[in-house]
Structure 1
Amino acid sequence: MLLGWDFDERVEMHDTAEQPEGPLKIGAYFDWLLKNNRDLDIYVLRWDTGALKSFFRVNGLMTLIRWYFHPRVHFKLDSHHPVGAAHHQKVIVIDEDTAFCSGIDVANNRWDTRAHDDSQSHRLQPDGNDAGPWHDAAMVVQGDVARALAEYAVQHWRAAGGKPTKAVTATADCWPADLDPDFTDCPIAIARTLPKMDDQQGVHEIENLYLDLVAAAKDFIYAESQYFASARIAAAIAARLSEPDGPEVVIVNPQSAEGWLESEIMDSTRARLFEAIKAKDKYDRFRMFHPFNAAGTAIYVHAKILIVDDQYIRVGSSNFNNRSLGFDSECDVAIDASEVRDDRVPSQIASVRNDLLAEHLGVDESDVHSSLEETGSLIATIDTLKKPGRELRLYQTPDVSDVEAWLADNDILDPKRADDVFAGVV
């Protein structure tokens, strides 16, 4: 079962480690799987509004028609949301054994490697164009949390009007064969956002967890997000930066949001929130950066990651924006090392953070670790290891025109709740 904001049957699922069996295109691959496994059922739930473009592609429409008549393919467009809201979570569950929770849709422009090279043949889109470097993240889980994500996926499927799902009887181990787990036997939680509707209570676990984690930080808050447009999260960060012994805060954002109108609104909101935070940052512990590859090309950050000290890590679909906190449907997973007795989980959380920084700085993880040990500072570590080419560049506040400021103030594309005045504008 796949829950997603988008789904494009033309996407090619490249594997840089080995030649995969079956067709590369996901639509053809599903057909191949169904042919070779008579017990397999496939469920796809995608956002209804975002699916409209599929109907204007001949191949896409033909695939949907073919699947509509297939007894073991169940394709559903999710309209169970307020007007203007989106089914935004990205969850894939395989039987009730293994699950993925991420910021990655099965859609165009998502494939890349961690090198984020300028020239990448596998990144070419169906139209032959290269969308450019793309940075994203997912967490794959197994065990009780995978079963819980499977239960959530089925609940969401049924809430969207999907027909009853087939019972899972398989007991096979579905964990990817060549993937070594970073974490084992540790506390993990699922956090959700579901908008309030006549037949549904609003769920704001994601917002509450963000605020709790910011409040819990002692030394470092490291975040990657597509946007920085939530006044409530910004206020929570500003409050911690006002404390003499508060944490350092490092946020990695794309240089600019995608699309003209989205860029005008989100980028101007980011500028205002950034300046508001810096006004409270009297101890100079706040930085925002943009990643660039070795050729100097901006890397688009789509990952949604929050790492607090060496105690908490969360990965999922939610951004630092109002939609993710109360209007769209979202799903994150978070690991809590605060109650783990040994240092195994905390050290791995720190390793993931250091590895991400090493990726952005074009250095080894050991270099980040050594610098942190020496300086005790994320900011000083970034400044020390920074070099031309693959790098993190400091955010520079642009001029914000009166028009951009008005758009930002009115949150046209970023409503907080379904009853906000502009919630229905798309």
Structure 2
Amino acid sequence: MLLKRGATCWRAERTPRAAVFIDVEDYFTAVMSAISKARRSVHILGWAFHPLTHFAPQVDCADPQEARIAAFLKAVSSTRPELDIRVLCWKAALPIAITQDFYPQRAAREFRHTSVRFELDDQTPLGASHHQKVVVIDDAVAFCGGCDFGPDRWDTCDHEDENLLRAAEPGAPPCFDPRHEVMSLVDGHAAEALGELFRARWLRATGETMTAPNAPAPSDPWPDAVTPQFEDVRVGLSRTAAAWAGEDQIRENEALYLAAIAAAKSCIYMENQYFTSPVIAEALAQRLGETKGPEVILVSTGHAPSYFDQLTMDRTRSFFIRRLEDADKHGRFRIYSPVTALGHTIIVHAKLAIIDDVLLRVGSANINNRSLGLDTECDLSIEPMSPTRAETRLAIGRVRTRLVAHWLGCEDVIVSEAVEKTGGLGAAIEWLRAQGRCRLRPIPAVALKPMASLVATFHLGDPVGPKDSWKPWRRRRSVATELKAVVASLKQANLDSVPARLSAKAI
């Protein structure tokens, strides 16, 4: 098992039902349905929370405001005043708030003088952010993944070039780029654990202790029209948090990545906003160097949408790619960026990993330094267990097939047949690209000029933890120190799959 409490996860719970949402159309619809069924509480954690987020632009409402998240929550609270509705959002630094249309201030005004509790959380080390994205309903069902509530998040799996619904106002010319997100849904003890996570965050942010429910939810808030893809599975919750204000450091997300990469037998498939972590690059490189190691398929945005990320993350990603290309002696590494039918960039904001057919991971953690050691993050992983192990493995495989098919713009069966024909996922993608399905394009490692090389070498804008947040010259040493600690904890947890040669010397 890869999910081990105290090492690769905080909690690991047997869970009756789970589902995965690919892109936001279905996710937002499910969230609305679950909140509409709430009888006790609605608790939301976010990096961002914009009150004008349109839940369902595809629905023709008499009043367009009815489907805006703030109006929707206020309407629910007015019809069911007994509900405890709380939203806890990171108190973003001013430059970020500006780029997000001052969403914290807008939301605070929107909920003033209502029964919806809205609070901003600034309890972080300097330079860190609260990055968890969680929605908990009645402590009975919960969503977890990489999607915040913002007007630019909504999109369909088609990622159409001209979708009039992907706009600030329904029916207006499209003003938001196509976007890819992945979220998960669970019930049972996993949902209860996410409720516990919310209460801990609320206490730290406000000083107010919330009482945990002492009885099961009065009804089932599982959203309508959502069929569980997984039944009776093991669900793990992995976190990141910096050592700060008397709290211990938590690096469960990084530990799970290292353990899962080391354990992979045939295929490592990852989608992520950023690929810059030297620790993860080294772990992947070592597997690529093995004669019979797994193939590594990565999907990310062609170029970051913000100038700051282009200056920092895009430059550093070239170092990441170059390390894997150098290690790839057997032709098993590929990294792609998705585009629309007309060749426009699709923003990949998902944070997803599928290891063979034995681990499906969805969360908020990027594959960069800060997500693995500085910011607060929460990832949810699904792992097969008896007696439903075979069915779960098939379901994990189906999710991976659906993801690749949706990128290439084809039916799932075409991807499945291509994998069978070619003997591997990477070869299947290349075969389908040769057939004209070219919506996944290789990302090259680009040569960096001196300034860009300096940014990438010292990971400017991407600190490892509070100690090097404003001391980038310490960053390489900080990465090496943290790597030693994480590998030691994995070995102590008897995760023998961690390669002994994974050392700080290569960082």
TM-score of the pair, normalised by structure 2: 0.79
Taking structure 1 as reference, are residues 271 and 73 closer, same or farther at Cα in structure 2, changes over 3 Å only?
same
Q: 1:144 to 1:111 in 2, by over 3 A?
A: same
Instruction: Quote how far apart the aligned CAs of 1:63 are.
Output: 5.2
1:5 aligned residue = 47
Structure 2 match to 1:398: 446
For residues 384 and 63 of structure 1, do their structure 2 counterparts lie closer, same or farther at Cα, with a shift above 3 Å needed?
Answer: closer
Identify the residue that residue 25 of structure 2 maps to in structure 1.
none
Query: Does residue 135 in structure 1 map to residue 177 in structure 2?
Result: no
RMSD (CA atoms): 2.5
Letter in 2 for 1:120: N
Match of 2:85 in 1: 42
Contact 1:55 1:61 in 2 (8 A): no
Contact 2:97 2:103 in 1 (8 A): no
| 1:183 matched residue in structure 2 | 230
Q: Give 1:49 deviation, angstroms.
A: 1.9
Cα distance in 1 between the residues matched to 2:102 and 2:404: 43
Could you tell me which residue of structure 2 aligns to residue 82 of structure 1? 125
Distance 1:58 1:368, change over 3 A: closer
Kindly provide the amino acid, as one letter, of the partner of residue 67 in structure 1.
F
The 3-state SS of whatever aligns with 2:297 is strand
Structure 2 counterpart of 1:145, one-letter code: A
Q: What's the counterpart of residue 148 of structure 1? A: 193
Q: Which moved more, 1:117-126 or 1:415-424?
A: 415-424
Partner of 2:208: 163
Query: How many residue pairs get matched?
Result: 424
Among residues 152, 159, 164, which one is paired with 1:116 in the alignment?
159
Task: Classify the secondary structure of the residue corresponding to 1:141.
Answer: strand
- The equivalent residue for 1:318 is 365
- Aligned partner of 2:330 in structure 1 is 283
State which of 149, 155, 158 in structure 2 corresponds to 1:106. Answer: 149
Give the deviation of 1:98 after TM superposition: 0.6
**Secondary structure in 1 matching 2:467:** coil
The one-letter code sitting in structure 1 at the alignment partner of 2:227 is: D
1:203 aligns with 2:250: yes
Q: What residue identity is the alignment partner of 1:193?
A: T
In 2, distance between residues paired with 1:322 and 1:58? 26
Q: Is the 8 A contact 1:296 1:390 kept in 2?
A: no
Q: Give the distance between the partners of 2:297 and 2:48, measured in 1 at CA.
A: 30
- How far 1:421 moved relative to its partner? 4.9
Is 2:266–2:295's contact at 8 Å kept on the other side of the alignment? Answer: yes
- Cα 1:178/1:266, change in 2 over 3 Å: same
Deviates more, 1:208-217 or 1:263-272: 263-272
Change (3 A) 1:381 1:271: same
The runs of 5 or more residues in structure 1 that have no matched partner are: none
Deviations 1:265-302, CA, capped at 9 Å, x for gaps: 11111111111111111111100001111121111100
Shift, 1:388, TM fit: 4.1
Letter in 2 for 1:41: D
CA distance in 2 between counterparts of 1:20 and 1:209 reads 47
Among 429, 435, 439, the alignment partner of 1:382 is: 429
Q: Structure 1 pair 266/56, CA: closer, same or farther in 2 (3 Å)?
A: closer
Amino acid at match of 1:267: D
Q: Distance in 1 between matches of 2:122 and 2:439?
A: 41
Given the alignment of the two structures, is residue 14 of structure 1 paired with residue 61 of structure 2, yes or no?
Answer: no
Partner of 1:53: 97
Moved more, 188-197 or 126-135: 126-135
Q: Partners in 1 of 2:327 and 2:106 — Cα distance?
A: 56
Corresponding residue for residue 418 of structure 1? 466
Contact 1:54-1:60 within 8 A present in 2 as well: no
Asked if structure 2 preserves the Cα contact closer than 8 Å seen for 1:293 and 1:389, the reply is no
Query: Is the partner of 2:131 in helix, strand or coil?
Result: coil
Deviation at 1:54, TM superposition (A): 7.7
Match of 1:373 among 396, 410, 420: 420
Contact 1:84 1:424 in 2 (8 A): no
Using the aligned pairs only, state the percent identity. 34
Return the offset for 1:341.
5.6
> Bigger shift: 363-372 or 220-229?
363-372
Q: Cα offset for 1:17?
A: 7.4
Q: 1:200 to 1:408 in 2, by over 3 A?
A: same
Task: Give the deviation of 1:383 after TM superposition.
Answer: 1.1
Q: What SS is found at the alignment partner of 1:2?
A: strand
Partners of 1:189 and 1:335 within 8 A in 2: yes
Q: 1:229 to 1:3 in 2, by over 3 A?
A: same
Would you say the 8 A contact 1:5–1:50 is kept in 2? no
C-alpha separation in 2, matches of 1:271 and 1:20? 49
Amino acid at match of 2:321: F
Query: Deviation at 1:412?
Result: 2.4
Look up the SS of the partner of 1:93 in the other structure. strand
| 2-structure distance, mates of 1:335, 1:112 | 25
Quote the Cα distance in structure 2 between the aligned partners of 1:56 and 1:410.
28
Give SS of 2:236's match. Answer: strand
Secondary structure at 2:298's aligned position in 1?
strand
Task: Give the conservation status (yes or no) of the 8 Å contact 2:418–2:428.
Answer: yes
Matched, 1:296 2:343: yes
Residue number in structure 2 paired with 1:345: 392
CA distance in 1, matches of 2:254, 2:186: 22
Matches of 1:59 and 1:399, distance apart in 2: 37
SS in 2 for 1:75: strand
Aligned to 2:353: 306
Residues of 2 paired with 1:79 and 1:423: CA distance? Answer: 22
- The 8 Å contact of residues 322 and 414 in structure 1, kept in 2 or not, is answered as yes
| Contact 1:8 1:108 survives alignment (8 Å) | yes
Q: State the alpha-carbon separation in 2 of the partners of residues 304 and 93 from structure 1.
A: 20
Distance (whole Å) between structure 1 residues aligned to residue 120 and residue 134 of structure 2:
15
2:241 aligns to what? 194
**C-alpha distance in structure 1 between counterparts of 2:100 and 2:401, whole Å:** 44
* AA partner of residue 174 (structure 1): P
The answer on whether the counterparts of 1:76 and 1:162 sit within 8 Å (CA) in structure 2 is: no
Indicate if the aligned counterparts of 1:361 and 1:392 stay in contact, CA closer than 8 A. yes
Aligned counterpart for 2:312 among listed residues 265, 269, 289? 265
Q: Kindly state the Cα deviation for residue 371 of structure 1 after the two structures are TM-superposed.
A: 1.6
Q: What SS is found at the alignment partner of 1:422?
A: coil
Q: 1:25 aligns with which of 52, 58, 68?
A: 68
